[in-house]
């Protein structure tokens, strides 16, 4: 998608990603990378017995960090840029847990596009859906910048 096309799409849903499986192995790798080894994410047997979810679940921050991959799929950018950065979140809610083995996808609404001196700032309305569930995993307002 080009910047000109995005300018015409402000206020609309711009893309929906393919489904991405959040495996137990991905959850373990994230736990190792972050040091968050809470049993609810890693201990399959204990989670079956003691967790209100009946299984292990992904870290909320893992789901959030998968936004980069999901957004690249949902809104592929055709024009090169010098760099692209996450600028932050105005709102972020972990609405419901992502059980290990679930598939998630993102729906992206471009809520605003702002020209800066050397960059363009995007504000995205993000919903991370869990396949087969009504409630989303994450709802967020995410800001990103592309330096041209």
| pLDDT tens for each residue of 67-108 | 999 999 999 998 889 999 999 999 999 999 999 999 999 999
Write down the pTM of the prediction. 0.95
Contact 32, 126 (CB under 8 A): no
Domain encompassing residue 130? 3-22+65-147
Q: Which residues pair with 145 in a beta bridge?
A: 85, 121
- Is 101 within a domain? yes
Q: Which residues, at least 6 apart from 136, have a Cβ–Cβ distance to it below 8 Å?
A: 95, 96, 127, 128, 129, 130
The pLDDT value given to residue 71: 97
The pLDDT value given to residue 108: 98
**CATH code at position 115:** 3.10.129.10
Query: What average pLDDT score do residues 116-132 get?
Result: 97
- Is 138 within a domain? yes
- Is 108 within a domain? yes
- Is 45 within a domain? no
Count: domains in the chain:
1
């Amino acid at each position: 998608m080009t910047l000109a096309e995005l300018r015409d799409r402000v206020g609309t849903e711009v893309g929906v990603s393919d489904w991405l499986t959040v495996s137990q192995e991905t959850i373990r790798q994230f736990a190792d990378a972050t040091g968050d080894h809470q049993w609810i994410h890693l201990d399959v047997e204990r989670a079956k017995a003691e967790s209100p979810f009946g299984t292990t679940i992904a870290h909320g921050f893992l789901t959030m960090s998968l936004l980069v991959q999901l957004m690249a799929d949902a809104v592929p950018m055709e024009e090169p840029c010098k760099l692209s950065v996450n600028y932050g979140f105005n709102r972020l809610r972990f609405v419901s847990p992502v059980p290990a083995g679930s598939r998630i996808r993102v729906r992206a609404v471009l809520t605003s596009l702002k020209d800066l001196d050397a960059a363009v700032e995007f504000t995205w309305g993000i919903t991370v859906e869990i396949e087969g569930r009504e409630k989303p995993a994450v709802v967020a307002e995410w800001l990103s910048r592309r330096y041209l």
